[in-house]
Structure formats: structure tokens, C-alpha cells
A and B are shown apart, each in its own frame.
Chain A
Amino acid sequence: MTGAAEATSVDPVTPVEGPAGTAGLSDSGGGSSRFPGRPVQEIVFPTREQYLPLVQGYRDDGFEMCIDLCGVDYLTHFNRHLPDGVQPERFEVVVNLLSLSTARRVRLRVQLPESDLEAASIFDVYPGVEAMEREAFDMFGIIFVGHPDLTRILMPEDWEGHPLRKDYGVGRVPVQFKGAPGPR
């Protein structure tokens, strides 16, 4: 694996460079004068099969750090803007990679259907995603195949359900003002 370029050519993905023509996908902050030195962020949409080789390619290309990994549930916002050729699915894994040498960021958005919530773990490439993948599993139920210890991290281990899913209701505790006088 020589780099992201090769990974991209072997497995064609849809790189989206900047805001041009992709309204809604753009990083509007990139062009702002308050971020003068910041290049426009790149967003890439690999499929599930391309995901791990592409991450490995970026790692070889000098993206030293996986800065963030999180899940998104697009249940109630399914028809979001996506570039042509990307099949929208309910879940997304969003990975932010950072290159310290070139001060560049790249964001990977992997589509995952509700029926088959499995993605490759990138733990072998970036060991720092250990806690982040556990959090994404905990909050969304995304199974990261190859993670050494995929257990809940924030919720108790016997918790049922994945709280950040959109169909997971927000509980409410009725407030009782015990000291207050009743209605007259």
C-alpha cells in the first residue's frame, strides 16, 4: 500500500474537495477569513469495503493521527445532500484524520445500512480509536469487526439499547414539588 492515491484508484471513491458544487457538504468555515491558514477540508465517501484500505492508505500518506471517530444516525434526516454515486444509508461512521506534517484534515464518511451494522475496526492502523469505537458502539450499536474489546464504555454494561439513535426516546422524570402546597 503506497498511499491514499493508490487506494483511491483501486477502489474508486468519491472525493469531495471543498465547497464547490456540493452545497451542504461544504465546510463553510474553511473559506472564512477567521481561519486564514486553514485549508478547505476534504470529505471522502468510501464504501464499507474501501474503508479500511483507504484509512491504511492515508496512514501511509502521512496522516499520523486519527483525531476523531463518531457515529451519526440519519433516521429522520435521510435525504441529506450526498454526492452522486453515494447510496445514503441510515447510519454513518465519521472519521477525522489529521496530518501533522502538512496541517491537513480529511474526513471519511462511511455509510452503514441499518440491517447490517458492521464496519471494519481501524484499531490496527490507529490504536487511538479504541475508546472512540467503543463509544460509537455504545451510542449507536455499530459493530467494529476486529476491535479487541468492543464493550460499552459510557453506559452501564447491562444497558439495553443505544441512546444516541434517533428512535431511542428521551426519558423524562416527572418532577414532584413535594413541599409545595396542593391546588386549592
Chain B
Amino acid sequence: MTDPTSNTPEDGVGGTDAPALPATERGDGAPNDTTIRASAHEAESSGHPDTPQPPPVSRDEYPKVGPGGEAIGLSTETSEGHQELTRRSATDPGELRREVGAVLRLPEGVVIDPANIDVEQSDDNTMIINMGPQHPSTHGVLRLMFELDGETVLRTKPVIGYLHTGMEKTAEELTYVQGSTNVTRMDYLSPLHNELVLSLAVEALLGIELPARADWIRMLMTELNRVSSHLMWMATNGMDLGSTSMMIYGFREREMVLAFFEKTTGLRMNHNFIRPGGTAADLPDGWEDDVTIICDTVLPRTDEYDELLTGQPLFRQRTESIGRLSAEEALALSLTGPILRSTGVPWDLRRSMPYLHYDQVDFDVIVGTYGDNFDRYSVRLNEIRESIRIIRQIVEKMPAGDYRVQDKKVTPPPRARIDESMEALIHHFKVFTEGFKVPEGEVYVAIESPRGELGCYLVSDGSSKPYRMHIRGPSFVNLQALPVMMRGGLLADAVSVCSSVDPVMGEVDR
């Protein structure tokens, strides 16, 4: 690794982890600094020998026609280079500054002067290593590439896409009725939030009003889901930091919530419970008792977590002032949710832009001060308590009524009617085979998921399938904080930082 002739690619990549890198990383041999992109391009589009090479950095003069005047096909247009972290000598300065976090246009005091970035720093003393995509503490198939100087992280680059299954493309093939089965699999730790945001978007286009009970059931279920998601985070975060007891406790409490979900929706995850037009079913008999037991159990146990972790010196040393982020950085990077709130910005969509009936319940928005790992832990721990406070109010205020809108266009008939009425059978058949048509238009709806702003941009062309459905996944955007949070930290803290972002790869890759 410290070979002075680091112009050969094998040396810069680092001998220890070379087998972990795919062939493209090792094989894109860079003869000198300026032609790395061109040569990478050449390697990828080798099937088109006549294609002229694009200029290495600027895309202004990107060639759109070949030498013979023929349009250059997609293969050329899309071969934009590799996604991995490359050696400094092979990275153009603009990209390098971004990877060290210097491109943030921030107020004075927090910005790093781009002139101070050591673009010319030799690769001799640094090493590029991989973490993931199979590393257990990356919570899925997240691949992180680090440039290290000893134990210190100089640059970080998340490489994602390993779980990409084209769910936005799939959504265009499914009717609105089937749509929630698709989106519920995105953020698998808070599936009900995904279903809710799609349903709200469809209902906004349809322009239908829901009965109050449907909205309150949705609030109850999503708040319970927030509790279970944060409990899951407490568990995995504890495990990442070496507290296996926290892992057991977190999963134990989450199991209670999932058992209630199973009783209500039939499934522990991927419920398909919140649907356009209401919910799939009413709450089961005796739900008040179940929910009260959950509240009465989880709330005192958050105090036990407090005792277990908050005061523990080892835990504090691994979280306090690790992965610090300022409010300006968080806003510039479009971060939302507990990460944004941990920096002291009191932004919670439930409070700031209320949806459902969140303006009728009383709760506090938890904010941190320093924006470090410990603040993110405290925000999430206290959000469990606030959610339980909300749930107790929902139990009191739950109105009677219907759990779905009685609009023949979107609501299938009750099961009992199908046995006695031919029209009901036809109606049922049509809703579930053809679906219902949604008026032409486009809408963006956002809710507060446990990880931040979960948005749905929905375009309808008037048919029964979405013309375009885009989900703004909070994890996808929040991952951009990793290079900034890890810069200058220790490699051992990378696990802690990654865990505090709480990425769910199903949502990142979609």
C-alpha cells in the first residue's frame, strides 16, 4: 500500500482488500490523473469501438452524435463511470471536495475552505477499504468505502443499489388497489407509514373525505408502528455498540406491538392494512385493552433503557460528540426526522404541517442540541414516550363510525353482501380486477415517518394505475449525511455513526 509507484491501480486499492473489490475497480488502470474517467468509460463501452471518448470532467460538450452522424445509443450515454470511491490521484477535484464534505455552501464558521482540502495529498499514506455490503452492522446491504489514514476516516462514500428491485416501476404496473402491497415492502420497519402516504396521495387525487374513525385508526396504527420502529432501532443500535441485552429487550417489546399488528391486520409486517379509502378492517374487539397493555409495559421499560444505556460510561463514550452535525449542514443535506431534530431544529411534520388529526393531540417535539450520536439516541428514546402519550389520547378520543369511506367507486362491498347480491359480486370483482380510476393530476403528500419525511409524488393519467409513483424515502436522503458525519472520525466509530442514521435499505434502494 505504501508503494511509491502508486500509479499502478493494484497498489492504490490496497493489497489487503483487493479481492473484495469487483473487477472494474481493479481493472480500470489509470495511466495518469486526467484520463481516469475516459479510460473507465472506454472499458465499459468497449462494445462500441467507434464511439469517441467523452471529455474527462465536463459534460457540456458531451457528444450526442457519433462520427458518422448516428445518434449514440443508451449504452454510451449511460456509461458515466464507476460508483466506487477511487484514489485521490484518480479523482477529479470537484468530486474530491464533495467527498470530504467541502462543497457545502454554509454560513461562515462551519464551512471548510475548499483551498484547505489537500487535493494533492499522496495516496501513499492512505488506504481505501470496504465495509459491506454484507457487514452485519450496515443494517442490510449498504456498502461503505472508506479512505483511511491509519484509523482516521478521511473520506466515506456509500455505495447503494444492492437491494434495488424497481418498486417504482412495479407500481406503474399495479392498480391503486394493489399499490399498497407494493409500497409496504419499501420501509419494512414502518410499513404502515408507507401505506399511509400512498393512500393519502391517492385520496388527495380522488378528493374523497374519510370518516373520522378511519383517520384515527390510521393514527393509532402508525404511532404504534413508530414505537416498534424506534424499539427496533434501540435494539440494533445497542447491539452495534456492544450492548446485547438492549438488543434482547428491544426485540422483546417490539414483539408486543407486532403481536397487536398481527391481531389487527393478520400479518406482523407488510400489512396492506391502510388502503386508499380507509383501512382493510376495523380494530379487533378489546383493542383498547391490548393497546393499554402495550403502553403500560413499554413506557416503564423506556426508563429501564435509560438506566441501562444513558448513564453507562462505555455507551456515552461511544456516542457523545461522535458524528456531530450542525443544523446548517443538516438543512443543506435535506436531512429530516430524528437526525434533523437532534441538531436542534424543531421540525416535525405532525406539528408543523399536520395531517390526519395530529392537530388534536397533545405531544412534544423532541429536539437535541449537539447533533451527535447521543442526541439522536435521546431523541428517539423520548419519541417513544411521546408516541405512547399520543396513543393514550387516541384510545380516549377514538370516535365511533365506519372504518372506510362508503364510496361505491373505491370501496368493495361487505363480504356478506356478496353471498346474496349479484350486483355486489360484480362490484367486488370489478374493484379487485380493474381497480378504480383516479382523476388526472399530480400531487405530493408527505408524512412524518420514524426516519423523517416520507413523501409520495403521484401522477395520474386518469386510468386505474399510477402513471408515475415516486417515493421520497427518508433513509435514501439521510444516507448523504454519512460522509459528513464520519469525516475525521475513527473507523471504530463508523459503526456507531451508521447505526445512528437508522437506514432501512429496503427504502434506500426501493
Contact status A149-B203, CB under 8 Å? no
Q: Report if B354 contacts A (CB, 8 A).
A: yes
Assuming the contacts A29-B443, A124-B105, A163-B166, asked whether A72 and B59 have C-beta atoms less than 8 A apart, the reply is no
Give the size range of A's interface with the partner. 35 or more
Chain A residues, Cβ within 8 Å of B78:
141, 152, 159-162
Complex: chain A residue closest to B97, CB-CB: A148
- A window 143-171: CB within 8 A of B: 143, 145, 148-164, 170
Contact status A96-B455, CB under 8 Å? yes
Chain B residues, Cβ within 8 Å of A153:
83, 160-161
Chain B residues, Cβ within 8 Å of A164:
168-169, 468
Complex: chain A residue closest to B334, CB-CB: A128
Q: Report if A110 contacts B (CB, 8 A).
A: no
Contact status A65-B470, CB under 8 Å? no
- A window 24-75: CB within 8 A of B: 24-29, 32-38, 41, 64-68, 70, 72-73
Q: How far does the Cβ of A38 sit from chain B's closest Cβ, in whole Å?
A: 5
Q: Report if B408 contacts A (CB, 8 A).
A: no
Can you list 18 residue pairs at the A/B interface with Cβ under 8 Å? A27-B204, A29-B200, A34-B215, A38-B354, A65-B331, A72-B467, A77-B467, A126-B332, A131-B477, A131-B480, A143-B59, A145-B60, A151-B82, A152-B78, A156-B161, A158-B79, A160-B78, A161-B74
Assuming the contacts A151-B80, A158-B44, asked whether A37 and B359 have C-beta atoms less than 8 A apart, the reply is yes
- B window 155-209: CB within 8 A of A: 160-161, 164, 166, 168-169, 173, 200-201, 203-207, 209
Starting from the known contacts A29-B201, A35-B353, 15 additional A-B residue pairs (CB-CB under 8 Å) come to A24-B440, A28-B441, A36-B354, A68-B444, A73-B468, A77-B459, A100-B352, A123-B103, A128-B333, A137-B80, A151-B81, A152-B78, A154-B161, A155-B164, A157-B80
Chain B residues, Cβ within 8 Å of A37:
353-354, 359
Assuming the contacts A24-B439, A68-B444, A96-B457, asked whether A128 and B95 have C-beta atoms less than 8 A apart, the reply is no
Most chain A CB neighbours (cut-off 10 Å) among B83, B334, B353: B334
Q: How far is it, in angstroms, between the C-alpha of A124 and the C-alpha of B442 when the chains are bound?
A: 28
Q: Report if A13 contacts B (CB, 8 A).
A: no
Q: Report if B504 contacts A (CB, 8 A).
A: no
Assuming the contacts A103-B353, A162-B74, A170-B169, asked whether A127 and B24 have C-beta atoms less than 8 A apart, the reply is no
Chain B residues, Cβ within 8 Å of A80:
440, 461
Q: How far is it, in angstroms, between the C-alpha of A128 and the C-alpha of B98 when the chains are bound?
A: 11
Q: Report if B141 contacts A (CB, 8 A).
A: no
Q: How far is it, in angstroms, between the C-alpha of A183 and the C-alpha of B362 when the chains are bound?
A: 64
Q: How far does the Cβ of B155 sit from chain A's closest Cβ, in whole Å?
A: 12
Q: How far does the Cβ of B56 sit from chain A's closest Cβ, in whole Å?
A: 13
Cross-chain contact of A148 among B103, B215, B461 (Cβ < 8 A): B103
Cross-chain contact of A38 among B77, B209, B355, B477 (Cβ < 8 A): B355
Which of B's residues lie within 8 Å of A, judged by CB? 24, 44, 59-60, 62, 64, 74-75, 77-83, 94-95, 97-98, 103-105, 160-161, 164, 166, 168-169, 173, 200-201, 203-207, 209-210, 215, 331-336, 345, 347, 352-357, 359, 439-446, 453, 455, 457, 459, 461, 467-468, 470, 472, 476-477, 479-480, 509-510
Chain A residues, Cβ within 8 Å of B75:
160
Q: How far does the Cβ of A42 sit from chain B's closest Cβ, in whole Å?
A: 11
Contact status A160-B74, CB under 8 Å? yes
What string of 1s and 0s marks CB contacts (under 8 Å) between A7-27 and chain B?
A: 000000000000000011111
Q: How far does the Cβ of B219 sit from chain A's closest Cβ, in whole Å?
A: 11
Complex: chain B residue closest to A81, CB-CB: B440
Chain B residues, Cβ within 8 Å of A145:
59-60
Q: How far is it, in angstroms, between the C-alpha of A103 and the C-alpha of B335 when the chains are bound?
A: 16
Q: How far does the Cβ of B475 sit from chain A's closest Cβ, in whole Å?
A: 11
Which of A's residues lie within 8 Å of B, judged by CB? 23-29, 32-38, 41, 64-68, 70, 72-73, 76-77, 80-81, 94, 96, 100, 103, 105, 107, 116, 118, 123-132, 135, 137, 139, 141, 143, 145, 148-164, 170
Cross-chain contact of A157 among B81, B97, B359, B445 (Cβ < 8 A): B81
Chain A residues, Cβ within 8 Å of B83:
151-153, 157
Contact status B74-A100, CB under 8 Å? no
Chain A residues, Cβ within 8 Å of B62:
118, 143
Q: How far does the Cβ of A180 sit from chain B's closest Cβ, in whole Å?
A: 26
Contact status A157-B44, CB under 8 Å? yes
Contact status B468-A148, CB under 8 Å? no
Cross-chain contact of B105 among A27, A32, A125, A155 (Cβ < 8 A): A125
Chain A residues, Cβ within 8 Å of B97:
148
Q: How far is it, in angstroms, between the C-alpha of A95 and the C-alpha of B366 when the chains are bound?
A: 29
Contact status A68-B457, CB under 8 Å? yes
Q: How far is it, in angstroms, between the C-alpha of A154 and the C-alpha of B507 when the chains are bound?
A: 12
Q: How far is it, in angstroms, between the C-alpha of A80 and the C-alpha of B105 when the chains are bound?
A: 37
Assuming the contacts A128-B333, A131-B476, A148-B94, asked whether A38 and B457 have C-beta atoms less than 8 A apart, the reply is no
Contact status B105-A149, CB under 8 Å? no
Complex: chain A residue closest to B347, CB-CB: A100
Cross-chain contact of A127 among B164, B332, B444 (Cβ < 8 A): B332
Assuming the contacts A28-B204, A65-B331, asked whether A154 and B353 have C-beta atoms less than 8 A apart, the reply is no
Contact status B333-A127, CB under 8 Å? yes
Q: How far is it, in angstroms, between the C-alpha of A42 and the C-alpha of B77 when the chains are bound?
A: 34
Assuming the contacts A129-B334, A148-B98, A153-B83, asked whether A28 and B164 have C-beta atoms less than 8 A apart, the reply is no
The 4 closest A-B pairs by CB, nearest first: A128-B334, A29-B204, A77-B461, A154-B161
Chain B residues, Cβ within 8 Å of A159:
78
Contact status B453-A67, CB under 8 Å? yes
Q: How far is it, in angstroms, between the C-alpha of A28 and the C-alpha of B444 when the chains are bound?
A: 10
Most chain B CB neighbours (cut-off 10 Å) among A26, A80, A149: A149
Q: How far is it, in angstroms, between the C-alpha of A121 and the C-alpha of B228 when the chains are bound?
A: 39
Contact status B470-A70, CB under 8 Å? yes
Q: How far does the Cβ of B162 sit from chain A's closest Cβ, in whole Å?
A: 9
Chain A residues, Cβ within 8 Å of B510:
154
Q: How far is it, in angstroms, between the C-alpha of A184 and the C-alpha of B331 when the chains are bound?
A: 66
Contact status A154-B215, CB under 8 Å? no
Q: How far does the Cβ of B12 sit from chain A's closest Cβ, in whole Å?
A: 18
Assuming the contacts A80-B461, A125-B105, A161-B74, asked whether A130 and B98 have C-beta atoms less than 8 A apart, the reply is yes
Chain A residues, Cβ within 8 Å of B440:
24, 80-81
